[in-house]
Structure 1
Amino acid sequence: MSQSSNSQAIGPRYKWIALSNTTLGVLMATINSNIVLISLPAIFDGIGINPLDPSQTNYLLWMLLGYMVVMATLLVTFGRISDMFGRVRMYNLGFAVFTVGSILLFLTPGTGDTAALEMIIFRIIQAIGGSFLFANSTAILTDAFPARQRGMAMGINQVAAIVGSILGLILGGVLAAVNWRLVFLVSVPFGIFGTVWAYMKLRETAQVNRNQKIDWLGNITFFVGLIVLLLGLTYGIEPYGDAATGWGNPFVIGAIVFGLLLLIAFVFIELRVPDPMFRLSLFKYRAFSIGIFSNFLSSLARGGLQFMLIIWLQGIWLPLHGYSFEDTPLWAGIYMLPMMVGMIVVGPISGLLSDRMGAKTLATLGLLVQVLGFILLTLLPADFNYLWFAALLALMGLAQGLFSVPNTTALMNSAPANQRGAAAGMNSTSQNAASVISMAIFFSIVTLGLAAALPTTLSTGLTQAGLPTATANQIAHLPPIAALFGAFLGYNPMATLIPAPVLHQLSAASQANLLGKTFFPNLISSPFMVGLHAAFYISAGLCLIAMISSLMRGKQFIHGESEDDITIEAQPKKAILAQHGANQT
């Protein structure tokens, strides 16, 4: 049965059911991707480990990035499987798996290292469920909505993703202050409701092709290649020997090289197998290839932005303005709200406009505004006026709304109906992989900037504050990533860096000065801003390349639901309405 007749049979209101359910799924998944960022101090304190201890830093990295790494490696595979066995069926499974992962996290039974390992495994289970949700939500929307309304649907859906990412920061801070287990419990009722609702209300509107074979070799090489590559990039953030970062670590170099070789082998495999996992044939459509490329570059530019802005707020700005380090995680989430507002306001509007005028103008303008936003961020001092900071956050949210929604809509419109799951998975994979790479790059740039300037600054400042010279020099040459992570987690960085016996030997006035709210921010601000500005300039350059690419995307293109492809400009309105008539209600 064709998609159109199926859509008509299940009723004209079905598209709104699909939109509300997928929006709930995306909202829940994105809340959980960020909720641990703010609540990590409470979580680690609750299970009894010190994430800044060199022997336990791996737990911190995996809790921060493990969810995104797993999702990045599974999205294409799950999108392809969904095309074969049913998008709605796999989406429903994702809701159920995600809910089970949330329940297990809430019930984490152990303590210490055991509990940390349990939580990482349970987060991976969550990520598996989230991969099914993300791999199918845009495909289900594309199936359910007629071409002239897909931009609006994508706009609402992606606004939910942005709201979830910021809401997760705030919820994490509020709930962790009560009990760390509530951070994971909050998802359970929504997960149960969403699972039942999806099972009862969602219907398969796309043709399912079970005759295709699973591309096992392609799946294995892609999964192993990408996860090994991302692991190498993740551990590149950590110090190695006397170096501030791990890019000289043989493991990191080997992982990156081996991962890239497997991904190159994967491309050759996909060109030769009859039913490839990665639909390389989709790249023959300009709207798809330009959309994927632009999305990858934009995500590469923005993926680490939220981390860096939060560290800026928590490590420098908020303490300078009287906030205790323990309270900075929650307030950082609150002060990031203007970015969410910008996206909420512009996202649906840009989606509606893209339904009428296509993606080229809107997406290109959005990328241009992002370039401007990154450059303007470099003009702010470390201790900025918040009104200017909020205005720039709103501008960046506005820019992302202008670009992301039309770009995703155009990309999905270009994919054949029976390959939309694969298309959505490929798009989400490019975004998630780019975000992980971006965080590795941003952290490395800022860390290298700190490593070059911080030792002298820190040694001089600690000595002047009364610390013995030998101790001050020893602390000054500790890996700067520890100070960054300490500020990010809401710890007082000086309290974590200065040995307690040494600290207790100082006078009360010296202790108050060292542990005060201004000592560390004033020391770190100058070298931190050097690295941060370099990262912003690189991001502006990436967005500029993406903008040039977006200009080449051509006219608005919609892949026909019949045997022939159609473009909106190439056919009269009557023909388009006839082609999509069954869906126009």
Structure 2
Amino acid sequence: MNSVEVQEDRRTVDSRVVLGIVAVGVLLSSLDLFIVNVALPKIAEDFAGSQISGLSWVLNAYAIVFAALLVPAGRLGDRGSNRTTFLVGLGVFVLGSALCAVAWNTGALVGFRVLQAVGGALLTPASLGLVLTATPPEKRAMAVRLWVAFGGLGAALGPVFGGLLVEVHWRWVFLVNVPIGIVALIIGWRLLPSTRGDGGALPDGLGALSLIGAVASLILALVKGTDWGWTSTGVLTSFVVAAVLAAVFVTSSRRHHSPVVDPALLRLPNFALMVGNAVLFNIAFAGMLLSVVLWAQNVWGWSALKTGLAIAPGPLIVPIVAVLAGRFIAKIGAGPVIAAGGVIFAAGIVWWALAVTLTPDYAGGLLGGMLVTGLGVGLTMPTTFAAGTAGLPPQRFATGSAVLSMARQLGLAVGVAVFVAALGSPIGPDATLEAFQRGWYVIAIAAAAAGLTGLAARMPRPAVAQATAVA
């Protein structure tokens, strides 16, 4: 898109309207990464003969396809139109949700979840591309922080909404997306700014396929490692396939005139650093969410709904902290804010390791750590994305944001695997406090490491100026 077109869109469409529309899609797709977990037992009851192990693919298929398609989908938006890509993605996601709600067996439900994931992968990078395009440079840092905050809310509030909806019927976990998504589609069709991509040559087909295969194989190995065994043929083969395809992707990207991911992106200020930070911090974030769900439900014996409500206070403060973080960025810079967020998040996890007991005590045990980790998320995640996207050229907004989103998904998958490995077995009422403490210390180390990687981040002057204006 040329500068004239961008200016015209800004005059006719308020960037806050664009953020509000795309936030609906981001929130729905993020919710669906986590909301279905609490519905699996009820689904197993409805589908006679289904086993939880088989139904796990309702979760795994979504995670694998979503992560694998993010970057090719971002490149598609940058080449064509982020508006069109977002609306198509939202439409596919809504269709997949409606079909999931009427699924008649496990196979159909898994297939329709794949359709949902395709839609989510299309809309996610395009949504941030639209926000960046419609927002003046001096206001982009705040817009990105809010965009990330919506995604973080969806991830952490999934168990809350899942627990509430399952009380009615598990099909409402999917059906609720339909009316909300249709309204967002109608409003988006009318109000989202028209965008034109770079219109260049078709992206590297071999590179796109090898990247999809590499990410899918890696996520498969991570999510099934515990079930299949880390030294099983299936897991080891998946890791080998991921490594080979990653090598093919790198080689093809270096030689092709239109790579899916331009190697120059990795040389942009902050970008590669923030990719690494996104992986590390989301290892800790995934471990945190999994640990509190397992502890509350399996050790304290709480219901899914009660567990979700116990989690809620942390995520609810994330958007507030994300907005207020601009004041700190203006004064001390993005790097120290990210570092502080990582350390604070780690402190919240250590809080649990020191305060939680086998006797249920929410106020004295879980609540304090939940609030502290929420503070860490609000400081780190939005600032990481803002710093990582600050130097992106307009013609690579969606691709760059897709790489960061893919790094986040990889971190989430690794985090679950790392926490389960640190916890050991059994994962149930007989799990010892010492086992959970071990897992909490491991993810606290990952959060602190994420903070260290953020120290070198630097926000460009327009973003700092915007942070000052907010303050």
Fold match by TM threshold 0.5? yes
Cα distance in 1 for residues equivalent to 2:136 and 2:178: 33
The C-alpha deviation readout for 1:421-473, integer Å capped at 9, x for no partner, is: 11011000010112112212222332xx32xxxxxxxxxxxxxxxxxxxxxxx
Cα distance in 2 for residues equivalent to 1:99 and 1:390: 35
Shift of 1:358: 4.2
Cα distance in 2 for residues equivalent to 1:329 and 1:4: 51
1:373 to 2:276 alignment? no
SS of equivalent to 1:378: helix
Q: Tell me, yes or no, if the aligned pair for 1:94 and 1:133 is still in contact at 8 Å.
A: yes
SS of equivalent to 1:293: helix
More helix by share: 2
Cα distance in 2 for residues equivalent to 1:292 and 1:237: 26
Unaligned 5+ segments in structure 2 are: 467-471
Which shifted more, 196-205 or 92-101?
A: 196-205
Shift of 1:412: 0.9
1:48 to 2:48 alignment? yes
Identical positions, percent? 24
1:242 aligned partner: none
Are residues 383 and 281 of structure 1, via their aligned partners in 2, closer, same or farther at CA, if it must alter by over 3 Å?
farther
Unaligned 5+ segments in structure 1 are: 240-245, 451-479, 488-520, 559-566, 577-585
Cα distance in 2 for residues equivalent to 1:413 and 1:177: 43
SS of equivalent to 2:198: coil
1:330 to 2:320 alignment? no
2:7 aligned partner: 7
Cα distance in 1 for residues equivalent to 2:325 and 2:45: 43
Cα distance in 2 for residues equivalent to 1:38 and 1:19: 29
Are residues 226 and 552 of structure 1, via their aligned partners in 2, closer, same or farther at CA, if it must alter by over 3 Å?
same
Q: Following superposition of structure 1 onto structure 2, how do residues 197-276 of structure 1 map, counting pairs within 5 Å?
A: 197-205=187-195, 207-238=196-227, 246-276=229-259
Cα distance in 1 for residues equivalent to 2:263 and 2:77: 17
SS of equivalent to 1:271: helix
Root-mean-square deviation (CA), in Å? 2.2
1:540 aligned partner: 444
Are residues 352 and 86 of structure 1, via their aligned partners in 2, closer, same or farther at CA, if it must alter by over 3 Å?
farther
1:174 aligned partner: 164
Which shifted more, 534-543 or 334-343?
A: 534-543
SS of equivalent to 2:255: coil
Which shifted more, 3-12 or 373-382?
A: 3-12
Q: Following superposition of structure 1 onto structure 2, how do residues 41-440 of structure 1 map, counting pairs within 5 Å?
A: 41-52=41-52, 57=53, 59-108=54-103, 110=104, 115-205=105-195, 207-238=196-227, 246-317=229-300, 319=301, 323=302, 328-351=303-326, 353-354=328-329, 358-379=333-354, 380-383=356-359, 385-388=361-364, 389-440=366-417
Shift of 1:184: 1.2
Cα distance in 2 for residues equivalent to 1:74 and 1:415: 20
**Larger-Rg structure:** 1
Shift of 1:371: 2.3
TM superposition outliers: structure 1 runs of 4+ over 6 Å: none
SS of equivalent to 2:170: coil
Are residues 226 and 557 of structure 1, via their aligned partners in 2, closer, same or farther at CA, if it must alter by over 3 Å?
same
- TM-score normalized by structure 2? 0.93
Are residues 568 and 413 of structure 1, via their aligned partners in 2, closer, same or farther at CA, if it must alter by over 3 Å?
closer
1:531 to 2:435 alignment? yes
Are residues 4 and 60 of structure 1, via their aligned partners in 2, closer, same or farther at CA, if it must alter by over 3 Å?
same
Cα distance in 2 for residues equivalent to 1:50 and 1:249: 24
Cα distance in 2 for residues equivalent to 1:568 and 1:69: 34
Shift of 1:67: 1.4
Are residues 408 and 7 of structure 1, via their aligned partners in 2, closer, same or farther at CA, if it must alter by over 3 Å?
same
Q: Residue type matched to 2:438 in 1?
A: A
Q: Residue type matched to 1:156 in 2?
A: L
Cα distance in 2 for residues equivalent to 1:358 and 1:94: 35
Q: Tell me, yes or no, if the aligned pair for 1:99 and 1:188 is still in contact at 8 Å.
A: yes
Are residues 235 and 167 of structure 1, via their aligned partners in 2, closer, same or farther at CA, if it must alter by over 3 Å?
closer
Cα distance in 2 for residues equivalent to 1:338 and 1:95: 29
Shift of 1:119: 0.4
1:509 aligned partner: none
